[in-house]
Amino acid sequence: MTPWHLARRAERLNPSVIREILKVTERPGIISLAGGLPSPDSFPVEAMREATTRVLRDTPREALQYAASEGYGPLRDWVAAHLNAQGLSVDADQVLITTGSQQGLDLVGKVLIDAGSRVAVEEPTYLGALQAFAPYEPEVVTVPCDADGPLPQALGAARGCRFLYVLPNFQNPSGRCMGEARRAALVQAARELGLPLVEDNPYGDLWFDAPPPAPLASRWHEGVIYLGSFSKVLAPGLRLGYVVAPKALMPKLLQAKQAADLHTAGFNQRVVHEVIRDGFLDRHVPTIRARYRGQRDAMRSALERHMPAGCRWTVPNGGMFFWVELPQGLDATALLPDAVERGMAYVPGAAFFADHPRANTLRLSFVTVAPAQIEQGIVALAQTLAAAMAVQEAA
């Protein structure tokens, strides 16, 4: 008999459905539209190589030593300046550098959630946030949403919640982007309710047509925690993100960070600062946008030409995902093995709902696969759906 007794929170940890699916898609020959990974062709390998050399030449001992839990000062200054240019009002001492924004979600959960306290999320929402919050044992409340995001008039459902977790820009998984009027109305409704917001924004820089409206954090300084990431504009392997929090929360977030991992890799922070300090992102990010826009167009065109009638999708104006709704009665989880058999994979949408999963939804990523393969993958998906619809009709 095992001598180990698992903590209750460990029992609440689940394997990510997406990671399980990704294992299947690693099989050779499968066109995976499932992953949420950025395109490796967008990684700035040469700039990283040069910056690494400079850091090791100029500050090798500092870069390899333990460092401050808050993060590398010049990088915190850069983040504050970057956000202030977008309309926020941030001091560098409100910036906590984290090991990816995923760690930011964990720290927010650790500091703000008690067992049994209520936390509100969008419908659908980022699976990784649900996983990050789950060990802190919240009761998760879903706020009704439309194509523009959470409905301000429905925010009463979140009354008394510790916070509403919200992704205004090119949401994972739905791809939707909240318009200006909705942002204003949502923040106003949240203020009236005294409902703080946790705004997660890893995709905001990846717009295709026009930049998204200003962040929610620019509209309510003391009521919003803002999370950002270098994963989608540089590379996720760096594991570099940041939390920007109202000053009153910073000491607790910092203590949680200290307890978690002392600090985010100082070496990575210095290399990234060395890469971006001279405006590199202003030159680099447009190349990612152009690449992803082309792939988005390829997927839109393939969907329009191949999908059977009755399927609907939103065309994203940024980010990495299409969100597809199948006719009622079709179950994307049940259909996945057939799709894989036909050579493609997607993520069933059910995983992204905190409650009442909508079985007839799925997420498609367009960024890691070349346009010709996108076409092939959508043809395989369309064949899977057409076969299922034929069975449905015959029944």
Ligand X SMILES: Cc1ncc(COP(=O)(O)O)c(C=O)c1O
Interface with ligand X (CB under 6 A): 36, 100-102, 126, 128, 167, 172, 200, 202, 229, 231, 236, 241
Pick the closest to residue 350 from 13, 17, 11 (CA basis). 17
Closest to ligand X by CB, 352 vs 384, is 352
CA distances from 344 to 25, 176, 316, 363 (A): 8, 24, 21, 13
Closest to ligand X by CB, 302 vs 346, is 346
Instruction: Identify the H or E element spanning 97.
Output: strand 95-98
Cα-flanking dihedrals φ and ψ of residue 263, to 5°? -170, 160
- DSSP E strands in 145-277: the ranges are 145-146, 149-150, 164-166, 197-200, 224-229, 241-244
Smallest distance from the beta carbon of 132 to ligand X, in angstroms?
A: 9
Smallest distance from the beta carbon of 139 to ligand X, in angstroms?
A: 22
Smallest distance from the beta carbon of 166 to ligand X, in angstroms?
A: 10
Closest to ligand X by CB, 100 vs 212, is 100
Smallest distance from the beta carbon of 121 to ligand X, in angstroms?
A: 11
Smallest distance from the beta carbon of 128 to ligand X, in angstroms?
A: 5
Closest to ligand X by CB, 244 vs 389, is 244
Q: Which residue has the tokens 């409905």?
A: 151
Smallest distance from the beta carbon of 372 to ligand X, in angstroms?
A: 25
Instruction: Identify the H or E element spanning 359.
Output: none
Closest to ligand X by CB, 70 vs 200, is 200
In whole angstroms, what is the distance from residue 128 CA to residue 131 CA? 5
First to last CA, the chain: 50
Closest to ligand X by CB, 175 vs 213, is 175
Adjacent-strand bridge partners of 38: none
Closest to ligand X by CB, 152 vs 236, is 236
Smallest distance from the beta carbon of 243 to ligand X, in angstroms?
A: 11
In whole angstroms, what is the distance from residue 393 CA to residue 395 CA? 5
Q: Which residue is nearest to ligand X (CB)?
A: 100
Closest to ligand X by CB, 218 vs 231, is 231
Q: Which two tokens stand for residue 123?
A: 């419908």
Q: Are 343 and 380 in contact (CB under 8 A)?
A: yes
In whole angstroms, what is the distance from residue 374 CA to residue 370 CA? 6
Q: Which two tokens stand for residue 51?
A: 């910056």
Cβ atoms within 10 Å, residue 91: 13
Helices (H), 160-206: 180-193
Smallest distance from the beta carbon of 231 to ligand X, in angstroms?
A: 3
